[in-house]
């Protein structure tokens, strides 16, 4: 199990890279001939929220990988936060060079917000609420 948690961030970052390289957002527009506009709107909202979730999960997977080696501290949290955000920047720059994709500051802000939300949940659960279920599970990984 620890080996899986250790390689999970690399697998996930590869998934993000492949998805960023191949997804054409305008392909959803072609669906307008086949599905209702409200469903297209819903899909668009989901794609926009995906940035929050996508990079929040990356931060979580980085933390889980670190916990297989050692306990968390503020320095490790900051390093994992920086890696997740920097990968968000790399992803946005990468999209600039992909046909039908573009660099977006708004998307980058959503990436950072997603990382921040998961950082906050983990930080509070691990350090402040010693009896939280999330914190208990995270601490068990190290033990």
**pLDDT for residue 111:** 93
Backbone angles phi, psi at 73, to 5 degrees: -145, 175
Sorting pLDDT into bands at 50, 70 and 90, what band is 36? Answer: confident
d(C-alpha 73, C-alpha 66), whole Å? 11
Sorting pLDDT into bands at 50, 70 and 90, what band is 31? Answer: low
DSSP string, 33-74: GTS-HHHHHHHHHHHHHHHHHHHHHHHHHHHHHHHTTS---H
**pLDDT for residue 34:** 73
Q: What is the mean pLDDT of residues 56-80?
A: 96
Q: Would you say 80 and 66 are in contact if contact means Cβ atoms under 8 Å apart?
A: yes
**pLDDT for residue 51:** 77
Give the H or E element holding residue 32.
none
Q: What is the mean pLDDT of residues 28-48?
A: 72
pLDDT, one tens digit per residue, over 77-92 is: 999 999 999 999 999 9
pTM here is: 0.86
Sorting pLDDT into bands at 50, 70 and 90, what band is 45? Answer: confident
pLDDT tops 70 at residue 27: no
**pLDDT for residue 42:** 80
Please count the CA atoms within 13 angstroms of the CA of 23 that sit on its side-chain side: 14
- Percent of the chain topping pLDDT 70: 92
**pLDDT for residue 87:** 96
């Amino acid at each position: 199990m620890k080996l899986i948690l250790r390689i999970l961030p690399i697998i996930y970052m590869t998934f993000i890279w492949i998805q960023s390289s191949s997804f054409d957002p305008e392909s959803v527009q072609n669906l307008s001939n086949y599905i209702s506009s409200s469903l297209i709107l819903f899909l668009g909202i989901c794609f926009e929220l995906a940035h929050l979730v996508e990079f929040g999960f990356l931060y979580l997977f980085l933390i889980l990988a670190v916990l297989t080696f050692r306990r968390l501290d503020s320095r490790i949290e900051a390093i994992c936060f920086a890696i997740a955000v920097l990968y968000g920047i790399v992803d946005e720059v990468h999209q600039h060079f992909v046909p039908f994709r573009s660099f977006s500051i708004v998307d980058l802000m959503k990436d950072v917000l997603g990382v921040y939300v998961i950082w906050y949940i983990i930080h509070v659960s691990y350090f402040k609420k010693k009896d939280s279920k999330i914190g208990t599970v995270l601490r068990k990984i190290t033990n």
